[in-house]
Amino acid sequence: MTDPVLSVRDLRTHFFTRAGVVKAVDGVSFDLAAGEILGLVGESGSGKTVTGFSILGLIDAPGRIVEGSVMLNGTELTSLPEAQLRARRGRDISMVFQDPIATLNPMLTIGQQMRLAINAHEKLGRRAAEARAAELLTQVGIPSAEARLRSYPHEFSGGMRQRVAIAIALLHRPSVIVADEPTTALDVSIQAQILYQMRDLAAQTGTALIWISHDLAVVSSLATRLAVMYAGRIVEQGPTATLLRDPRHPYTAGLIASLPATSKPGEPLAQIPGTTPSLLSLPPGCPFAPRCARQTPACTEEPALTIEADRGWRCFHPVGQMHEEPA
Amino acid sequence: MLGFIIQRFMQAVVVMAVMSVIVFCGVYAIGNPIDIVIPPEATEEIRLNTIRRLGLDRPLYEQYFIFIGNLLQGDLGRSFVYNVPVLELIGGRLPATLELVLISVISATVIGVSLGIYAGYRPDSWLSKTIMAVSVLGFSVPSFWVGLILILTFAVNLGWMPAGGRGDTVEILGIEWSFLTADGLSHIVLPAVNLALFKLAMMIRLARAGTREIMLTDTIKFARAAGLSEATILRRHLLKLISIPIITVFGLELGSTLAFAVVTETIFSWPGVGKLIIDSISVLDRPVMVAYLILVAFLFVTINFVIDLVFALIDPRIRHGASA
Amino acid sequence: MSDQSTPLRRFWAEFRENKVAVVALVVMVLMGLLALFASVVSPQNPYDLANLSLMDSRRPPGFVGSGGYTHLLGTDPQGRDLLSAIFYGLRISIQIGLAAGFVSLTIGTFLGILAAYLGGRIETLIMRMVDLQLSFPAILLALVIVAMLGQGKAQLIGALVAAQYAYFARTAYGAAKAERGKDYIEAAVATPLSTRLVMLRHLLPNCTPPLIVVATVQIANSISLEATLSFLGLGLPVTEPSLGMLISNGFPYMMSGRYWISVYPGVALIILIVAINIVGDQVRDQFNPRLRR
């Protein structure tokens, strides 16, 4: 494997609230190769969005990255001064958000917003900037792009707004884009369009994607690798096909079993019993233990990372390996 | 866009009509002005004559229609006390009030919005906390009391500024202005500060609350993720987003400052309409009261109308008729 | 901090974290007590003309008057002990603030909930009226009403209520309207409960937090407005001076350096209003879910 464009090691982002310390991200590690699409899957509250924001250094108070490293193209981002970090945001790494209605400024035209994003990193004349903006809009599938530069966000549909947001994220051809559930707020038919368009764009430009989603079905059709998050940790990661066919962590297995496609018609969908634990009162050891059918007293210890070829998991009693002793 | 303007214009006309009825009834229906205008020792004949001359013998609704008829012809009646046309009386005092109000509100807005954005942007810095503490004071302390303290400090103790009056004026476009002469300026500083303080506090709070809320939105996060500098975010995104509530309040405050000028003008003996109305209330000079209230209502409605137009100009959503 | 405690306790625990607000609360309560027991703590009854001597008038703080005791804050033009006058003035100011606040609260809440509950024409009528009034400065409204009704405590309270009920109506309306749209209210309306019961049991509790916030602010505003009107000479009769009246009485003497007649009552007024506002601010912040962390 070539050097990864992005390498996250033992990332910990905690929120220091009135009620206590919320360990939203608590020891996340992964690598991202150029052009790769990593699906970051988990229930809401599992820390996937915070992971995304942490990578870009966009954590607001009372949150803070307390530990860990984020290496982008060989540069450590967590210790970078804000000005230098800003110079990389949007240029080397950018982000697309969940709700396109909330992300674009309703008071500025699409053209103005795109020019702001261009001028943040490059001093281009108005003409040249508009030409670049129009080019990107055309690329993401917005017809008569030049005329649309003078439009305001409210004149676009939700799907079109998200395309604009994607175009802004792509403006400087970053090596990584963090996409935080960019299709969740859209109609199903538009979801698929945008999904595949983004995959193609990433492939064309060599941009690596981190695709954050709670929907395993969506991510697995797109991502080359999957990372499954639970309670602030990645409990299992590996190539998409391998993970889907042969999950190790009981939580991954549960997610796969609850996919509508895997259940037989007429039978109820499988569910994972219980609910996501509060991050304020996590049980010691494996956070999934209280909901896990394979739980044993050993689970009160923190399970170490087991690595096997190109995959890894954190579980004492992995699925499909019952005959083996826990590592 | 045109439909929007027409709709708002009709609304304004309706509001004015309603206001004129309320004001007229409110002021005319209660109390008896005859006792004030006519000396008790006057003969019955003088009494009746005066009543007839002032139109006070007719039914209330007739008085109203006469009033409206005259109003539309620009005749708001004659003051009971000064016996001059009310419009002349008020017109002569209005420039002084407008000058004071405009200077106060504009400076309060410019300074208040800047301070408020800072306080909202860095809510935990000591400067922000100081700004907010001062704004709580400005908000809480009654305006007349601030006026007293200003006089006590700057006029009585330090002697830097005069305690009252308008000072020298210059006539431009047929209107007397104080702020263009050194003496006039020294006279207007204290009342303007007095009048502006409450508005300043209000603008600070408004801008701070708006900033805090907007800075947490995805719009700002997205702009940050795109690598925009904080200065650009504040200048291009925040200022634009915050402008709508600021303009609304600016307009409303212009109106209410006009009303608060009553207090400031009384304290600083500023010869504006506010002082006139206080004097008129104490002697129940009804035509002046009615005319003043109608005028204030008119200014309010006009300001609101203008603000709606400004909204339509700055907010693309309204401009394109996305929402009314 | 534990989550098992009652909401009230949790509220207090959070309140306690803001030291400034706690101090303000203490000051507020203290001033309330001083007003309540004005006749006990005051060295003199300032309303009893027999106690007053013109020889003692306009004396500076620390002056020992004909009563044989020290006037800590000096005396006013009528020869009243200023400290006593302030205690009594505080009592009147608070009385009027509370009365006006309470009546406005009742009327405003009633109208607001009624509008939200009934809907249709009545809603339009009530809310149009309220909005029209809100766009009109309270002080102007109060001025005109006092001018029309004449002077006196009841008239003054009436003017303050007329100028302020609209804020409560708006708030109650907003909260009730948001609640009204929810399914459970629809369900309650569908069950054979009387209208009044639905309003009281379901809509009112949901309007309470914002109303408390508005009430604190409006009581402070009432006190300030009353002082302003009194200062303009349109408030209470001179025989029972409120704080505003005391300040007004001293104004003419300020130019000649007799600052204390106006300044001390003013200081008392401001401490009271600022204290109420700080407490109100803290309560509002605690009720505002968007600022919660």
- Other C-beta atoms closer than 10 Å to the C-beta of B203 total 27
Q: Is residue B155 part of a domain?
A: yes
The answer on B131 and B41 residing in a single domain is: no
- Between CA B269 and CA A142 the distance in angstroms is 65
Mean local confidence (pLDDT), A261-286: 75
The answer on B247 and B204 residing in a single domain is: yes
Interface test with B, best of A92, A93, A94, A103 (most B CBs within 10 A): A103
Q: Does C293 sit within 8 Å of A18, measured CB to CB? A: yes
| Helix (H) and strand (E) counts in chain C | 12, 2
Interface of A with B in 113-152 (CB under 8 A): 116-117, 119-121, 152
Q: Residue C39: which pLDDT band, with cuts at 50, 70 and 90?
A: confident
* A17 vs C contacts (CB less than 8 Å): 293
A195 to each of A142, A189, A204, A227, B42, how far by Cα in Å? 15, 10, 14, 18, 93
pLDDT value, residue C71: 65
Instruction: Transcribe B7-64 into DSSP letters.
Output: HHHHHHHHHHHHHHHHHHHHHHHSS-THHHHS-TTS-HHHHHHHHHHHTTTS-HHHHH
Q: Tell me whether B324 touches chain A (CB under 8 Å).
A: no
pLDDT tens-digit readout, C76-104: 777 677 788 888 888 888 988 999 999 99
- With 90 as the cut, is the pLDDT of residue B117 above it? yes
Q: Is residue C71 part of a domain?
A: no
Residue A188 burial class via C-beta count within 10 angstroms: exposed 0-12, middle 13-18, buried 19 and up: exposed
The answer on B138 and B207 residing in a single domain is: yes
Residue of C nearest to B31 (CA): C148
* C18 vs B contacts (CB less than 8 Å): none
* C4 vs A contacts (CB less than 8 Å): none
The helix-helix angle for C7-17 and C260-287 (nearest 10°) equals: 130
Residue of B nearest to C274 (CA): B140
The answer on B253 and B147 residing in a single domain is: yes
Q: Is residue A323 part of a domain?
A: no
Determine the distance in angstroms separating the CA of B172 from the nearest CA of chain C, rounded to an integer. Answer: 31
Element (H, E) at A250: helix A250-257
Give me the domain span that covers residue B195.
92-271
- Whether A251 and A227 have beta carbons less than 8 Å apart is answered as no
- Between CA B238 and CA B235 the distance in angstroms is 6
Q: Which of A86, A103, A154 comes nearest B222 by C-beta?
A: A103
Instruction: Quickly tell me which residue has 């303000």 as its tokens.
Output: C24
Residues with Cβ within 8 Å of residue C77, at least 6 apart in sequence: C57, C58, C249, C250, C253, C261
Biggest CA pair distance of chain A: 67
Q: Which of B222, B229, B322 comes nearest A86 by C-beta?
A: B229
- With 70 as the cut, is the pLDDT of residue C53 above it? no
Q: Does B156 sit within 8 Å of C257, measured CB to CB? A: yes
Q: Tell me whether B223 touches chain A (CB under 8 Å).
A: yes
CA contacts within 13 A on the Cβ side of B34: 18
Chain A residues within 8 A (CB-CB) of chain C? 17-19, 62
Interface test with C, best of B15, B32, B126, B145 (most C CBs within 10 A): B145
For residue C117, give the nearest of C24, C30, C207 by alpha carbon: C207
Q: Does B219 sit within 8 Å of A165, measured CB to CB? A: no
pLDDT value, residue A326: 46
Q: Residue C55: which pLDDT band, with cuts at 50, 70 and 90?
A: low
Instruction: Quickly tell me which residue has 């207007």 as its tokens.
Output: B188
* C293 vs A contacts (CB less than 8 Å): 17-18, 62
Please measure the distance between the N-terminal and C-terminal CA atoms of chain A and give it in whole angstroms.
Answer: 26
Interface test with B, best of C124, C144, C229, C242 (most B CBs within 10 A): C144
* B297 vs C contacts (CB less than 8 Å): 136
Alpha helices, DSSP H only, in chain B? 2-29, 34-37, 44-54, 60-72, 86-121, 126-140, 143-150, 182-215, 218-225, 230-232, 239-267, 273-282, 286-314, 316-319
Chains that touch A (3 or more CB pairs under 8 A): B, C
Residues with Cβ within 8 Å of residue B215, at least 6 apart in sequence: B120, B121, B238
Going through A134-198 in order, the beta strands assigned E by DSSP cover 176-180
pLDDT tens-digit readout, B205-243: 889 988 988 988 889 999 999 989 889 999 999 998 898
Question: Which among A3-17, B158-172, C272-286 has the top mean pLDDT?
Answer: A3-17
Is the previous residue joined to C77 through a cis bond, with omega within 30 degrees of 0? no
The answer on A245 and A150 residing in a single domain is: no
Q: Is residue C85 part of a domain?
A: no
- Whether A43 and A252 have beta carbons less than 8 Å apart is answered as no
What does the angle CA A68 – CA A70 – CA A74 come to, to the nearest 5 degrees?
130
- With 60 as the cut, is the pLDDT of residue A96 above it? yes
- Cβ–Cβ pairs < 8 A, chains A and B: 93
Q: Does A58 sit within 8 Å of B221, measured CB to CB? A: yes
Residue of C nearest to B16 (CA): C132
pLDDT value, residue B115: 94
Q: Residue C292: which pLDDT band, with cuts at 50, 70 and 90?
A: very low
- Other C-beta atoms closer than 10 Å to the C-beta of A57 total 19
- Whether A197 and A141 have beta carbons less than 8 Å apart is answered as yes
The tally of domains found in chain C comes to 1
Q: Is residue A326 part of a domain?
A: no
- Between CA C143 and CA C165 the distance in angstroms is 16
Residue C256 belongs to domain with CATH number: 1.10.3720.10
pLDDT value, residue A325: 46
Determine the distance in angstroms separating the CA of B177 from the nearest CA of chain C, rounded to an integer. Answer: 26
The answer on A115 and A36 residing in a single domain is: no
Final residue before a domain boundary, out of A149, A171, A193: A171
The answer on A231 and A113 residing in a single domain is: no
Mean local confidence (pLDDT), B59-84: 77
- Between CA A83 and CA A73 the distance in angstroms is 18
The helix-helix angle for B239-267 and B86-121 (nearest 10°) equals: 130
* A24 vs C contacts (CB less than 8 Å): none
Q: Tell me whether C14 touches chain A (CB under 8 Å).
A: yes
- Between CA A18 and CA C60 the distance in angstroms is 51
Going through chain A in order, the beta strands assigned E by DSSP cover 6-17, 20-32, 37-41, 63-72, 75-76, 93-96, 176-180, 208-213, 225-230, 233-239, 306-308, 311-313
Q: Does C257 sit within 8 Å of B136, measured CB to CB? A: no
Interface test with B, best of A99, A107, A122 (most B CBs within 10 A): A107
- With 60 as the cut, is the pLDDT of residue A324 above it? no
pLDDT value, residue B81: 78
For residue C245, give the nearest of C230, C228, C256, C232 by alpha carbon: C230
Q: Tell me whether A95 touches chain B (CB under 8 Å).
A: yes
- Between CA A81 and CA B59 the distance in angstroms is 79
The answer on A285 and A177 residing in a single domain is: yes
Mean local confidence (pLDDT), C227-246: 79
DSSP three-state, residue A11: strand
The answer on A122 and A20 residing in a single domain is: no
pLDDT value, residue C183: 64
Phi/psi for B74 (5° steps) reads 80, 15
- Whether A194 and A209 have beta carbons less than 8 Å apart is answered as no
Q: Is residue B135 part of a domain?
A: yes
Chain centroid offset of residue B110 CA: 17
Q: Does C14 sit within 8 Å of A19, measured CB to CB? A: no
- Whether A12 and A26 have beta carbons less than 8 Å apart is answered as yes
pLDDT value, residue C196: 63
Determine the distance in angstroms separating the CA of A87 from the nearest CA of chain B, rounded to an integer. Answer: 6
Q: Does A90 sit within 8 Å of B225, measured CB to CB? A: yes
- Between CA A171 and CA A95 the distance in angstroms is 11
* C14 vs A contacts (CB less than 8 Å): 18
pLDDT value, residue B321: 56
- Between CA A118 and CA B227 the distance in angstroms is 9
The answer on B218 and B117 residing in a single domain is: yes
DSSP three-state, residue B277: helix
Q: Is residue B147 part of a domain?
A: yes
Q: Is residue A324 part of a domain?
A: no
Residue B183 belongs to domain with CATH number: 1.10.3720.10
- Between CA C174 and CA C130 the distance in angstroms is 12
* C289 vs A contacts (CB less than 8 Å): none
Q: Is residue A327 part of a domain?
A: no
The answer on B113 and B193 residing in a single domain is: yes
Q: Is residue A149 part of a domain?
A: yes
- Between CA C114 and CA B115 the distance in angstroms is 40
The tally of domains found in chain A comes to 2
The answer on B104 and B48 residing in a single domain is: no
For residue C23, give the nearest of C264, C262, C226, C282 by alpha carbon: C282
For residue A142, give the nearest of A111, A174, A173, A184 by alpha carbon: A111
* C1 vs A contacts (CB less than 8 Å): 18-19
* A18 vs C contacts (CB less than 8 Å): 1, 14, 293
Mean local confidence (pLDDT), B310-317: 75
- Between CA B195 and CA B190 the distance in angstroms is 9
Determine the distance in angstroms separating the CA of A257 from the nearest CA of chain B, rounded to an integer. Answer: 34
Q: Is residue C193 part of a domain?
A: yes
- With 70 as the cut, is the pLDDT of residue C290 above it? no
What does the angle CA B138 – CA B143 – CA B147 come to, to the nearest 5 degrees?
105
B320 to each of A105, A162, B10, B86, B313, how far by Cα in Å? 16, 21, 20, 44, 10
The answer on A199 and A55 residing in a single domain is: yes
- Between CA B274 and CA B94 the distance in angstroms is 9
- Whether A23 and A12 have beta carbons less than 8 Å apart is answered as yes
- Between CA C261 and CA C272 the distance in angstroms is 18
Q: Is residue C66 part of a domain?
A: no
pLDDT tens-digit readout, A207-264: 999 999 988 888 888 899 999 999 888 999 999 999 888 888 889 988 888 877 666 6
The answer on B117 and B45 residing in a single domain is: no
Q: Which long-range contacts (CB under 8 A, 24 or more apart) does C198-202 make?
A: C198/C117, C199/C113, C199/C114, C199/C117
Determine the distance in angstroms separating the CA of B316 from the nearest CA of chain A, rounded to an integer. Answer: 6
Determine the distance in angstroms separating the CA of A60 from the nearest CA of chain B, rounded to an integer. Answer: 8
Mean local confidence (pLDDT), B1-12: 78
pLDDT tens-digit readout, C148-198: 777 778 888 888 898 888 888 988 888 887 776 666 666 666 666 666 666
Element (H, E) at C155: helix C153-180
- Between CA A277 and CA A291 the distance in angstroms is 9
Residue of A nearest to B122 (CA): A61
The tally of domains found in chain B comes to 2
Residue of C nearest to A17 (CA): C293
- With 70 as the cut, is the pLDDT of residue C38 above it? yes
Determine the distance in angstroms separating the CA of C12 from the nearest CA of chain A, rounded to an integer. Answer: 14
Residues with Cβ within 8 Å of residue C161, at least 6 apart in sequence: C100, C103, C104, C107
ipTM of the complex: 0.88
Give me the domain span that covers residue C113.
9-41+95-287
Question: Residues of chain B with pLDDT > 70: what percent?
Answer: 87
Determine the distance in angstroms separating the CA of B8 from the nearest CA of chain A, rounded to an integer. Answer: 22
- Between CA B86 and CA C144 the distance in angstroms is 18
Going through chain C in order, the beta strands assigned E by DSSP cover 63-64, 70-71
Q: Does A17 sit within 8 Å of C1, measured CB to CB? A: no
Give me the domain span that covers residue A68.
4-92+172-313
- Between CA B4 and CA B30 the distance in angstroms is 39
Average pLDDT, chain C: 78
